[in-house]
A and B are shown apart, each in its own frame.
Chain A
Amino acid sequence: MPPTTSAIEVDALAKAYGRLKAVDGVSFSVGAGEIFGMVGPNGAGKTTTIECLEGLRSPDGGVVRVLGLDPREDGHELRERIGVQLQQSALPDDMKVWEALDLFASYYRKPAAWKPLLDRLEIADKKNARFSKLSGGQKQRLFIALALVNDPELVFLDELTTGLDPHARRSMWDLVRAIRERGKTVFLTTHYMEEAEHLCDRVLVIDHGRVVALDSPANLVRGLKSEIRILFTAEPGFDPASLEGLPGVARVEKNGEKVIVAGQGDRLIVAVVNALDAQGVRFRDLRTEQPDLEDVFLALTAESGLDGGSR
C-alpha cells in the first residue's frame, strides 16, 4: 500500500548522542490521510525520530521533508501547520484549561475556534479547572486539544495513551480516528501493540535505531508464519492421533478433556472442524488463538536485540 501523496518523507535519518546511535539510517514515507504508527522498545529511537520530524531536534544526517518543508530550515513555518502532543510536557500548574487553549490559539496565524474543541474532547466541564487539578486522561485530552488548536494538516502523537486506564485508552482511539476522518494525517508512536493493530494503517517497527519492518498490521502478522492454535473440549474417549495427519497440523496435545491443535494455514480450522464432524466427535468451547502484532513485535525485536533493555 504505497502512499500516493506524502505528508512525510524520511531518507537515511541519523542522530547520535555521543557514541550512542539513537537513530541509524531510518527511511520511510507517510501518505496524506494515513494513520501511521511507529512502535519499538524503550530506547529504540522513536522519540528522537519524532522530534527530528517536528523540528525540535537536529538530525546528524539524512533528509527529512514534512509537508514539503525541512524541519530545520523552515521550523517556524512547519510549526504553523502541524499539531504536536509531546511525550513529556506540561503547562504551568495554575493555568486554566480555557486559558491554555486561548493562549495557544493566539500563537498561530490561522487558529481554529477552540470552544468546539472543548466539547469534542469532553473537557468542557473542566474549562475553569487548573492544569494541576486535572487527571491524567484529562491532561491528555487537553494536550490533544492544544495539538488541534491550529487546525493542523498533520498531527504527531507521542505515546498518547501511556499511563491511561483501558477505558480512557479506548476513547483516545476513537478520538484519533475522528481526527483522521477530518482529513488529517496522524503520526503516532506507541508501545502498546494492541493500539497499533487497532488504529494504524501501517506500522513501522524500529529497534536500536533501525527499521525492522514496515507494513500494515495484517501483513506483518501474516508474514510472521507463526502457528495458529485451535483449542476445544472433547468427550473423554477422543483419540487425538486422528487429527495429526491433517494438512497444516503440526502437533496435537490432549490434556484431560482439553485438546490443543497447533498448525499453520488459513484452511487449518476448516480441516480440523470437518474431521471432528466426520468422526462424529462431540466437541464444545472451540476457539482459536492467532498471532497478533505483539507476537510479531516480540519476534522482530528479539532477533535484533539480544542486549535489549540496556538503553
Chain B
Amino acid sequence: MKGFWKLAWVEIKLYLRQPEAAFFTLVFPMLLLFLFGSIYGNKPNPFFGGRGMVDVSTPAYLAMIIGSTGLMSISITVSSYREKGVLRRYRATPIRPAAVLASQIIVHFLMTLFGGALLIASASLVYGLRFEGRPLDVLFGFTLSTLSFFAVGFLLASVAKTARTANILGLVLYFPNLFLSGATIPKQTFPRALRAAGKFIPLTHVVDLLQGLWAGDALGRHLLEIAVLAGLLVVGVAVSARAFRWE
C-alpha cells in the first residue's frame, strides 16, 4: 500500500478545493438547517411525533449528504479521472489499481462523515438537537447507507462513457432522490400518493433508516431499509466490477 495514505491526503485537499463538491457536502445542509430552523425552531410538535423540526430534519440532511457524495462526487470524480487520463497515468506507476479506488472511497467517506459532524454539531449548539438512539446503530446505518450510495456512484462511473454523461446521470438521479425521499422536505408534509411513490426512491430508505435509528428504533424494525440498501450495495459492486474500465 505504498503511497496510499499520501494519495488519500492529496485527494482530501483536492476535494476541498472544488467549490461545488464542498458546497453540497458541507455548506448546503447547514444552510437548510439554519433556514428551516429559523422558521420552525425545534419545539416538540405532535406533527413530528412529539419531536422538533430540527430533531427530525438532521438525520434527513445526513441522507442528503450521502446522496450528494454518492451520486454526484464519486461518479464525477472517477469518470473525469478516467476521461482525462489521470487513471492511465497512475497505472504506469507501481500503485495498485485497488489502492486508487480505495482512496476515493475513503476520502468520500471521510468527507461525508465530516459534513455530517458539522451538521450535527451546529444543530446541537444552535437548536439543542435531541438524540434518543444508540450511537453504534446510527453509525452502522450511516456507514451502510454511504457505502450503498458509493456503490451506485461507481456504477454510474462504470456505465457512463464520458464524464459529461456521468454528470448528467448523477444530476438526474440526485434531484428526485433529494426532494422525493424526504431528505429536504419532511415527508410528513407529503400527500399520500407521493409518500407511496417515495418507496421506490433509494434515498427514502436512507432517510427512514437514519430517522428511525436517530429516534431510538431497534435495527430490527428497519429490516426492509437495511435489505434494500444492502441489495443496492451488492448490485452496485457487482456491476461496477464487471463494467468498470480504466480508460
Contacts and interface: CB of A to CB of B under 8 A. Distances in A.
Interface of B: 2-3, 6-7, 10, 13-14, 17-18, 81, 84-86, 88-89, 91-96
B92 A79 contact: yes
A99 B85 contact: no
Interface stretch (A9-17, A89-97, A230-238, A248-256): A89-97
A164 interface: no
Given A94-B17, A103-B6, A107-B3, A89 B85 contact: yes
A283 interface: no
A90 B95 CA distance: 16
A56 B3 contact: no
A99 B17 CA distance: 14
Nearest to B88: A89
Contacts of A88: 85, 88
A70 interface: no
Contacts, number: 61
Given A86-B85, A89-B88, A80 B14 contact: no
A107 B88 contact: no
Interface string A16-28: 0000000000000
B7 to A, nearest CB: 6
A109 B93 contact: no
B10 A107 contact: no
Nearest to B84: A90
Contact of B94 (A54, A95, A102, A108): A108
A296 interface: no
Given A90-B85, A92-B81, A94-B14, A106 B92 contact: no
A173 interface: no
B92 A107 contact: no
B14 A107 contact: no
Given A79-B93, A103-B7, 14 more contacts: A56-B88, A84-B92, A86-B92, A89-B84, A90-B84, A90-B85, A90-B89, A91-B89, A95-B10, A99-B10, A104-B93, A106-B6, A107-B2, A108-B94
A54 B92 CA distance: 7
A76 interface: yes
Contacts of A80: 94
A18 B84 CA distance: 25
Given A88-B85, A91-B86, A95-B10, A107 B94 contact: yes
Closest 8 pairs between A and B when the two form their complex, measured CB to CB? A89-B85, A90-B84, A89-B89, A84-B92, A106-B3, A107-B3, A94-B17, A106-B6
B157 to A, nearest CB: 15
Nearest to B4: A106
Contacts of A90: 84-86, 89
B36 to A, nearest CB: 33
B81 A106 contact: no
A273 to B, nearest CB: 54
